[in-house]
Amino acid sequence: MELKVSTRSHAGHTVVTIVGEIDLYTAPRLQAEFTRLLGQSQTMLVVLDMSAVEFCDSTGMNVLLSALKRLRERGGTLEVAAPRPAVRKILQVTGLDSVFVVHETLPEQLLTSDSQG
């Protein structure tokens, strides 16, 4: 399955919308997007809209952890929003639900951003 990644930046935060499955084959696409995003902007808050992610394996989780580490190194953070039950279970089983801030839905204030990145 194909992985689609899009970003919207607004007022110091970026929403990364991920659609599809994050696995060994698609994780490099997500990694490349994080590298691009973190290299070209000083965004301090990145929120992942995972409402359309059907599956995420350990490779995908490692990509998310790597992005979190890079953001934390510069004083920022990475949050997860609206994970589906399968993704939420992986976060819970691995203990990553205590590493990431996990929102039930995409935070309302982030929905008002309209600039594309």
Count, residues in the chain:
117
Instruction: Quickly state the pLDDT bin for 112 (edges 50, 70, 90).
Output: low
Can you spell out the DSSP letters for 45-69?
EEEEEEEEEEEE-HHHHHHHHHHHH
pLDDT at 84: 96
pLDDT at 115: 42
Report pLDDT digits (tens) over 59-92.
999 999 999 999 999 999 999 999 999 999 999 9
Q: What are the contacts of 103-106 at 24+ separation with CB within 8 A? A: 103/47, 103/79, 105/51, 105/81, 106/15, 106/47, 106/49, 106/51, 106/81, 106/82
pLDDT at 113: 46
Mean per-residue pLDDT over the chain, rounded = 90
Q: How far is CA 21 from CA 25, 55, 98, in A?
A: 9, 5, 22
